[in-house]
Structure 1
């Protein structure tokens, strides 16, 4: 599909694109699994005596998370176990001077690439390759390594421009994410394939279900999308209460698609049997769906649902997860998400856990990533891969092969 670090050799000037985008609280950049994952690629490049220059982004202009990458350099250095220099410039004279002064086995991080006007516009690879940013920086390097699968759905300059003007390779994260996230389309499994779908972005989930048909034997629904499907099935749930604005607008946009999916795939779609809410004593209380009258937020699937879903998982050859089944950040309502993840972890199956909230649950509740085949750090790119849409960052690497 594309060349990887195995094809790179040693002793080159390497520009490597990472995705170190992280939560920022009171100006402090928080550590997350992206630093550890990308460190493997950077460490391999260092060990092969490459001169390594990192380009990455943080936030978007106008947001509180749009900050410098100086803290990112320090965080990444801890995982690489090697010093990482930083320059507060992207492709100006100070950046070029710092790049040229780099020695073999040394690492430099450039400033937040989204501080460069050429980066963010969604343009063709050819247009980006001709930008001042790419034309100025590319001559300083022998090759380009893309390790940023989680932004591969973006046609931004640092992602699609450099592979048109430099020999390009996939880093370890890029290669692993592509293989795992495209496995529904590219692999055959000796047994049922199950997809666990939840979270707050119902439209994304419905897009995934619409794109996948014969590939999936069981859909296990929870979260907001689970309630919306229950609403379509005639239950008194799946609408906003109080100040909530999560359900009704998504229902209006997707009601016909939901009804169509229920009609076409009724035998393969499993809906929650019971739901949990916070009672007047601030305790978790469960109620069968046919007894629910929604007067307050419903925050998790219930125990009967977990038992039924777990039995399906245990008979599956492959399980793919996109979205949480409840508000797992509150321990009282973590049972659905965490219990099902624990069942997946102990089942002899191929398992891919989607990025975002679901992968955070693994970290929050101390589950061992090693029990899953792959835990993705991608969000939008994971959804795009599941729905069969193109990923510009992957396409340009394949063209470069």
Structure 2
């Protein structure tokens, strides 16, 4: 059953300044720096357009990637993409809460839309702390007096407890945007009606989220099988004693993920029959796909699941009654290495079970394939899987506690 929370329907926004946290974090071409997909921008356009059409002064806050990543960049392109989608000018300032941003907000008129700079350019945004502490950050203290309401539409980041996600709801009357509202209703409904067997497909490179979800789901007995793909699979193979070779071990070490190899080893011992790992993998040599058994891997980068593995995974998926999937199976954006991700998605689409696909790259791949058999494609991978696994979502909890009469 969905929790109680305020929505846009509960707000009188005409002529009011509304701070809106969205998640328009989008894939970026590492060579050109251009946006590759506008799926998340399109999703949030509904909330933004509704507020603007009701006469609100809509101030958008968002992030793009994180420090140290190649796609950690400004939000200027995002503002341009949003302007094109809404057929309405969306302002942009390369400032978050400084004098330029604050003066621009003060000068807004009803119906105006403004996108502030990437909130993760601000160091305190990266810190995970409780809402009352986040309400004391410079960002929240300087922007809150300028706003009448806070609307959180960033479901994809709802599992984070960062200033822009939880701090404003402490100080301002707050509500869920349309994306947040829709996601919570769909996911809470799914959680309350889980049919067995229940299968989790966990991959991609966000290993911390996947292992946290895996631990919770297995300990709670809510998962019959966990299918590992992507970097998650490589870590579990290494943890299980497979020689994934120096190149792939270094990739894991360089990201400070060795602690997860130890966790994987413990989970494999405790839940041996429920955690499935690949039996073969595809490596990249001179831009070509070569498949090997996991016991005969050469010292080359692992880019995808092998055919034998995807065949077995597809069998398990098609026999499932409930499927939760997050993260691509490999480097699916590289030609020749999209096979694993597409085979997994095709199996999910053709399964008679209820299926939820997490956001980000996996959602983008599903949308590109035009699949129609998936029950719900979420805008948030980590958030959706965390909610399904029974994790507390800080940004949702603070919305539930929000008071419209602050």
Give your verdict on TM over 0.5: yes
Number of the residue aligned with 1:323 = 327
Distance 1:119 1:251 in 2: 22
Distance 1:218 1:377 in 2: 24
Using the alignment, how far apart are the partners of 1:251 and 1:122 within structure 2? 19
After superposition, the C-alpha distances for 1:59-83 in whole angstroms (9 at most, x for unaligned) are 5567775554333222111122322
Aligned to 2:161, the other structure's residue is in SS state coil
**Matches of 1:318 and 1:122, distance apart in 2:** 32
1:78–1:137 Cα change, 3 Å: same
Between Structure 1 and Structure 2, whose CA radius of gyration is higher?
1
Name 2:6's counterpart in structure 1.
3
Rate the CA distance shift 1:313–1:169 in 2: closer, same or farther, 3 A.
same
**Aligned-residue offset at 1:196:** 1.2
Q: 1:335 is matched with which residue?
A: 339
Pick aligned residue for 1:218 from 215, 222, 225: 225
Q: Residue in 2 aligned with 1:157?
A: 163
Query: 1 CA distance for matches of 2:64 and 2:258?
Result: 34
Name the stretch that deviates more: 97-106 or 20-29: 20-29
> What is the CA distance between 1:340 and its match in structure 2?
1.4
Is the Cα–Cα contact under 8 Å of residues 240 and 248 in structure 1 kept in the other structure? no
Contact 2:150/2:168 (<8 A) preserved: yes
Q: Cα distance 1:265–1:283, how it changes in 2: closer, same or farther (>3 A)?
A: same
The answer as to whether partners of 1:369 and 1:375 remain within 8 angstroms in 2 is no
User: Retained in 2: the 8 A contact 1:240–1:246?
Assistant: no
TM-score by length of 1: 0.82
1:347 equivalent among 351, 367, 374:
351
Aligned: 1:18 with 2:25: no
Contact kept? 2:235, 2:260, Cα under 8 Å: no
> Structure 1 residues 242 and 49, CA, compared in 2 at 3 Å: closer, same or farther?
closer
Partner residue, 1:99:
105
Distance (Å, rounded) in 1 between the aligned partners of 2:93 and 2:287: 51
- Aligned match of 1:35: 41
Give deviations 1:338-366, integer Å, cap 9, x for gaps: 11101212323322222344234335xx2
Secondary structure of the residue aligned to 1:245 is helix
Instruction: Show the 5 A alignment for 1:200-349.
Output: 200-213=205-218, 214-230=221-237, 237-242=242-247, 245-246=250-251, 253-254=259-260, 257-277=263-283, 284-289=289-294, 292-349=296-353
How far apart are residue 383 of structure 1 and its match?
A: 5.6
SS at match of 1:36: helix
* 175-184 vs 341-350, greater mean Cα deviation: 175-184
Deviation at 1:313, TM superposition (A): 1.4
Find the aligned partners of 1:322 and 1:372 in 2 and give their Cα distance: 13
Residue number among 363, 372, 393 corresponding to 1:391 in the alignment: 393
The question of whether the paired residues in 1 share the 8 Å contact of 2:90 and 2:115 is answered with: yes
Q: Give CA-to-partner distance per residue, 1:134-168, whole Å, 9 cap, x none.
A: 34432333211011223334333322222112110
Does the aligned pair in 1 maintain the 2:19–2:149 contact within 8 Å? yes
Structure 1 residue 14, shift from structure 2 partner: 1.6
Specify every segment of 5 or more residues in structure 2 that has no aligned partner in the other structure, as ranges.
Answer: none
Offset, 1:170: 0.8
CA distance in 2, matches of 1:262, 1:62: 31
Which residue number in structure 2 is paired with residue 57 of structure 1?
63
The one of 186, 196, 218 aligned to 1:191: 196
CA distance in structure 1 between the partners assigned to 2:264 and 2:132 by the alignment? 39
Q: Please, what is the CA RMSD of the aligned residues?
A: 3.5
Partners of 1:359 and 1:314 in 2: CA distance:
19
Find the aligned partners of 1:86 and 1:378 in 2 and give their Cα distance.
25
Provide the residue aligned with 1:145 in structure 2.
151
Distance 1:374 1:102, change over 3 A: same
Residues 164 and 217 of structure 1: is their aligned pair in 2 closer, same or farther, counting only changes over 3 Å?
same
Q: How much has 1:121 moved relative to structure 2?
A: 4.8
State the alpha-carbon separation in 1 of the partners of residues 260 and 58 from structure 2.
47
Specify the alignment match of 1:44 in structure 2. 50
